[in-house]
């Protein structure tokens, strides 16, 4: 679930967020993943009230960037504070069921990427020992071969058609 509200833009609008969640719930949605950053407190408040489960995601990139001016430029300096602040802010919401430390991060292809995954997962468990950690991987089987997948509690495998042969 991306942070914006379609044509309404990115500014938080409680009623628009509530309506969006109500529509999703009417379609049978009972859980969602924020992508690829923490949700607004208002969204979590709506999810708490409606009983929608939320996987809160912290990062779309770590040290290896996906875009020219991405978070990777600030990751080393800010990741720990940002992750701890996110968890401290959101851990008392009953809708939050797990913490995602990354979405399709490029370190999944690195032999030592597991060290950073362990570091981030340890921060999550330090701040909230009651919830599991996860990450979305899209370069199967690399996260398993490089041991990154073993540093989190719940492995997420994202479907990425370019990695699959179509026959």
Point out which residues pair with 53 in neighbouring strands.
Answer: 31
pLDDT class for 8, splitting at 50, 70, 90? low
Domains parsed from the chain with CATH numbers: 6-163 (3.20.20.80)
CB 135 within 8 A of CB 102: yes
Average per-residue pLDDT for the chain: 92
pLDDT digits (tens, 9 = 90+) for 10-59: 677 789 889 999 999 999 999 999 988 899 999 999 999 999 999 999 99
**pLDDT value of position 156:** 94
Q: Which pLDDT belongs to residue 137? A: 94
Is 42 a catalytic site residue?
A: no
More confident residue, 37 or 60: 60
139, pLDDT greater than 60: yes
Q: What pLDDT band is residue 67 in, cutting at 50, 70 and 90?
A: very high
Is the per-residue pLDDT at 133 higher than 60?
Answer: yes
pLDDT of 45 reads: 97
Per the DSSP assignment, residues forming a β-bridge with 24 are none
The answer on pLDDT for 166 being more than 60 is no
In the set 42, 104, 111, 127, the catalytic residue is 104
SS (H, E, C) the chain: CCCCCHHHCCCCCHHHHHHHHHHHHHCCCCEEECCCCCCCHHHHHHHHHHCCEEEEECCCCCCCCCCCCCCHHHHHHHHHHHHHHHHHHHCCCCCEEEEEEEECCHHHHCCCHHHHHHHHHHHHHHHCCCCCEEEEECCCCHHHHCCCHHHCCEEEECCCHHHCCCC
Q: What per-residue confidence (pLDDT) applies to 36?
A: 84
120 vs 14, higher pLDDT: 120
Q: 105 versus 161: which is more confidently predicted?
A: 105
């Amino acid at each position: 679930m991306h942070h914006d509200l379609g044509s309404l833009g990115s500014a938080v609008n409680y009623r628009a967020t509530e309506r969006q969640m109500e529509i999703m719930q009417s379609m049978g949605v009972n859980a969602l993943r924020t992508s690829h950053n923490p949700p607004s407190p208002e969204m979590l408040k709506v999810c708490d009230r409606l009983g929608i489960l939320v996987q809160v995601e912290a990062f779309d990139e770590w040290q290896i960037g996906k875009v020219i001016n991405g978070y990777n430029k600030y990751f080393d300096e800010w990741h720990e504070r940002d992750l701890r602040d996110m968890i401290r802010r959101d851990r008392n919401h009953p809708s939050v069921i797990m913490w995602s430390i990354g979405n399709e991060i490029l370190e999944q292809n690195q032999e030592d990427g597991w060290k950073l995954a362990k570091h981030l997962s340890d921060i999550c468990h330090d701040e909230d020992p009651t919830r599991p950690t996860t990450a979305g991987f899209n370069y199967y089987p690399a996260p398993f071969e490089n041991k990154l997948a073993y540093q989190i509690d719940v492995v997420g495998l994202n479907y990425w058609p370019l990695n699959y042969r179509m026959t």
